[in-house]
Structure 1
């Protein structure tokens, strides 16, 4: 157990972007907060997201073969917490709309709609490789997670 704790401490020192991955199960939206996502390829455009093996969202994404990636902006920490919880009320009080037939959250700084190309098993998570079908962004500061707290990026070269 010591190695797991040491690994968790190391990873808490890595600043990661925060997003909410979404999908539809029939008419019902599903979503979960993730910090493990990245650009995978520019040609063709692809991303990867890591989803907990036991998550309800993973089952929905497996069935539907598509997901949305809502990159949160710095003022959306409460939204990140809401989607990190378990349960079926994550979308309660949340402003969203369908975009490319996927749930897109209002106010996010980035949006990517994807079709799953492949699932890769990895320990207690599954990595979904997504081919980008649509993308949009707004120039807002990103929400990040570091040392078990939310924050945002700041320049260090003195420029503004």
Structure 2
């Protein structure tokens, strides 16, 4: 089958959709594990569900999937370095990241704009990604701050 849409064109055009940046984080054998994720959205109010897209090449996702619980930490403008740390592969990604374990056994990043704690419900294959759905079990949010955004393959800061 002939490819109608080139990957570079797809990335360029969809890069014009500004998105918030999150860190999806959980515990695996008592150790924090996570990754930066911009493909996150609310899905349902009743029951409260969210969805996220995870690259199939992620080395962190299998560990989070195995744990079955995670927190989607919505990053604040000043957390660009945290995003950069958790957006790359390698050991000790959490070494300089302030975090704590929630009462639901997920990893909350200190200073995040919001925290959405979840229990995994389903994972579907979707091209070169997995589409995961999860039920929200707890929420938390700061009253102040601006979001860290991603727009046209660069960080952007929203002032609200």
TM-score (norm 2): 0.92
Determine whether 1:131 maps to 2:138. no
Aligned ranges 1:24-103 → 2 under 5 Å: 24-99=27-102, 100-103=104-107
Q: Is the 8 A contact 1:113 1:133 kept in 2?
A: yes
The answer to whether 1:149 aligns with 2:154 is yes
Q: Which secondary structure does the structure 1 equivalent of 2:6 belong to?
A: helix
Q: Is the 8 A contact 1:120 1:126 kept in 2?
A: yes
Shift of 1:54: 2.0
Paired residues, what number? 155
Where in structure 1 are there 5+ consecutive unaligned residues? Answer: 156-160
Give the distance between the partners of 2:124 and 2:83, measured in 1 at CA: 25
Moved more, 96-105 or 51-60: 51-60
2: CA distance, partners of 1:4 / 1:151: 23
> TM-score, length-normalised on structure 1?
0.92
| RMSD over aligned Cα atoms | 1.4
